[in-house]
Structure 1
Amino acid sequence: MAETADELPLLRRRRVAAYGMCVRDGQVLLARVTSPDGGERLWTMPGGGLEHGEDPLDAMTREVEEETGYQVEAERLLGIDSRRRSLREPGARIDFHALRVVYAVRIVGGDLRHEVGGTTDQAAWFDLDEVSSLSRVDLVDAALELHRTTPPTGRIARE
């Protein structure tokens, strides 16, 4: 007999990641993340998960360069976006918590290029007014809101 969702074990998972929000001349730098099977492609902020013991600022600069080819320098911490999701995987329910540290950055070197063999397959600049029409992850909207409002707590107000 198949187990119901309530009978499946509940696992808790947390992912801490850091991202660089680069805006210049009315455009924002984004990277396109691909699903493991290559079927889904969504735009996201350049950045990614921290390695064990890694500082978020160091992780952000490493990840942005890996995904875009640019060396960046943080100008300021924009904030931290915290999201929880209920996910399913074979044989378990997942209570997933994403903790996403977002920095405002500026480019200090490098040239735009696409990542090869990573989790993203493309990097590009988009006009800020074009972003709402892109297929994107919710982090893009959260980072843009942090950039736009610069909340003193570093946290987006949620209803």
Structure 2
Amino acid sequence: MGKELKELRELRVAAYAVCVRGDEVLLARWVSRDGTRRWTLPGGGMDHGEDPYDTVIREVEEETGHTVEPVRLLGLDSMLRSSREGGRTVDFHGVRVVYEGRITGGTLRPEADGSTDLAAWHRLDAVPGLDRVELVDVGLDLWRRRPADGRAERPPATS
């Protein structure tokens, strides 16, 4: 057999919504493979052939029970991460399309059998105290700044 593959490259494109209503933002609680739970923006991976606009509508409904209207493209976030799995390096590249979303209907509920286990509205001023993924800060920054080039600014790494 040929040379064993030592590095795996993975690209994931996903779409997320920043849904702010008054002084609250809608978040979903993501459950990692190891069981860690952290708040994130509602959204997720695109299916092959799916438009990101349609992805965010589908994902917000799946994860929160709400129907959403994407009203504005806020920007894109590109992140790189490397990890070790099964004796090889996984070089992960995530491209995240972030929309401003307006809730138009539905009833708040948790996702059934998915990657999230809870959905809730949180006060914007309480977000810094939440156990959350970096995407929440990236999305809220895009929502506040509305950069003309749509480029997200990565928050500084914390230790």
Tell me, in whole angstroms, the C-alpha distance in 2 between the residues paired with 1:20 and 1:61.
9
Q: Give the AA of the match of 1:55.
A: D
- State the shift of 1:73 in Å: 0.3
Aligned to 1:107: 103
Aligned to 2:94: 98
Q: Equivalent of 2:12, from 12, 15, 37?
A: 15
Unaligned runs of 5+ in 2: none
Q: Give the AA of the match of 2:46.
A: L
Q: Give the AA of the match of 1:58.
A: D
- State the shift of 1:156 in Å: 2.2
Q: Does 1:49 align with 2:39?
A: no
Unaligned runs of 5+ in 1: 1-7
Provide the TM-score with structure 1 as the length reference: 0.91
Q: Give the AA of the match of 2:55.
A: A
Aligned to 1:131: 127
Q: Equivalent of 1:62, from 58, 62, 76?
A: 58
Provide the TM-score with structure 2 as the length reference: 0.91
> Could you report, residue by residue, the CA deviation over 1:73-97 in whole angstroms, capped at 9, with x for unpaired residues?
0110000000001111112101110
Count how many residue pairs are aligned between Structure 1 and Structure 2. Answer: 152
- State the shift of 1:122 in Å: 0.1
Q: Give the AA of the match of 1:13.
A: E
Q: Give the AA of the match of 2:150.
A: G
Q: Give the AA of the match of 1:25.
A: G
- State the shift of 1:27 in Å: 0.5
Aligned to 1:26: 23
Query: What SS does the aligned partner of 1:112 have?
Result: coil
Sequence identity (%): 59
Tell me, in whole angstroms, the C-alpha distance in 2 between the residues paired with 1:156 and 1:47.
17
Q: Give the CA RMSD over aligned residues.
A: 1.5
Tell me, in whole angstroms, the C-alpha distance in 1 between the residues paired with 2:114 and 2:152.
30
Aligned to 1:85: 81
Mapped contact 2:138–2:153 kept (Cα < 8 A): no
> Could you report, residue by residue, the CA deviation over 1:41-99 in whole angstroms, capped at 9, with x for unpaired residues?
01000000000100001010000000000001011000000000111111210111000
Q: Give the AA of the match of 1:34.
A: V
